[in-house]
Amino acid sequence: MMTVGCGTDSGTTGGTAGTGGAGGSGPPAECNVAAPAALATCVDAVNQTRLACYLDTDSACESSAFDSALTTLKDGVEASCSDDEFNSLTVDALVARLQTSCTSETGSIEWRTFGGPQGAVWADAFANQKACMRTAHETASALVNGALTTVNECLAAGNCDPSALGADAEAAAAAAVSDIEAACQGTARLDFFIAVTPDIYVDRTLAQVDCMVATSHADTAPLTLGCGPSNVDMDPPRGEYQQIIVDGVKWGTLCGAGTEYAVLVRPAPEGD
């Protein structure tokens, strides 16, 4: 159970699904390849679907719009993974974990871009502002897709160089910021209507990539991620309520009144 004190977000196409497993042909891929590929494929598809809903209907999608992508993810994981193969999870639990990541991470990008779950900013925006938001969303989607593809291939090959990956990420981020700035000029400046500058927008998108990598890989060594179990700041006792004050310096969190961001949590009792 979680009670949130105040709100904050963390918060193009292509990508490799691997051979079999996540929608490709041929024999199923190994689970450690199929699981991250399935998530990457799902994220790419759902990002495109979310944007298309705004372009075609001026509103957010119904959840059923994501069914096909989520089913493809499920089929890919079930074809390649067995119970207890991925961090002792059952296949059903792994599928649920990846499907949740797919919908929640793409949702964060959508809400950050268009003004929350209802797309409040998009609804009242001028044409040039909508063009800016479209470019921002497409750029974020492409950034995620490229980053996941690079990291997934690196970890699958077993020869990851964290320094090289970091340099690649910095270059991709700089290009993304430049693309957004070029599309968002004058009254269509991104920070004018969603209160986030392009560099912060891109930085938060890359932070989500770390979470997707941590979710879809059983072993992320030798990478140092900004998300996942290695970033747990405290381990509250099971079955008891405890207030957790989030480190604003580390996570960029802050309540609207300038106070610390806090959550009240009660982890399930042992055995539940």
Q: Model confidence over 133-178: pLDDT tens digits?
A: 999 999 999 999 999 999 999 999 988 999 999 999 999 999 999 9
- Output the CA torsion sign for 132, 134, 137, 138: negative
Each residue's pLDDT tens digit, 2-32: 333 333 333 333 333 333 444 444 556 799 9
Q: Is pTM, for the whole model, over 0.75?
A: yes
**Predicted pLDDT of residue 134:** 98
The rounded distance, in Å, linking the Cα atoms of 175 and 102 is: 24
Q: What is the pLDDT of residue 244?
A: 84
pLDDT score of 267: 82
How many Cα atoms sit within 13 Å of 54 on the Cβ side? 28
Per-residue pLDDT of 96-119, as tens digits, reads 999 999 999 999 999 999 999 999
Instruction: Tell me if 150 sits within 8 A of 14, measured CB to CB.
Output: no
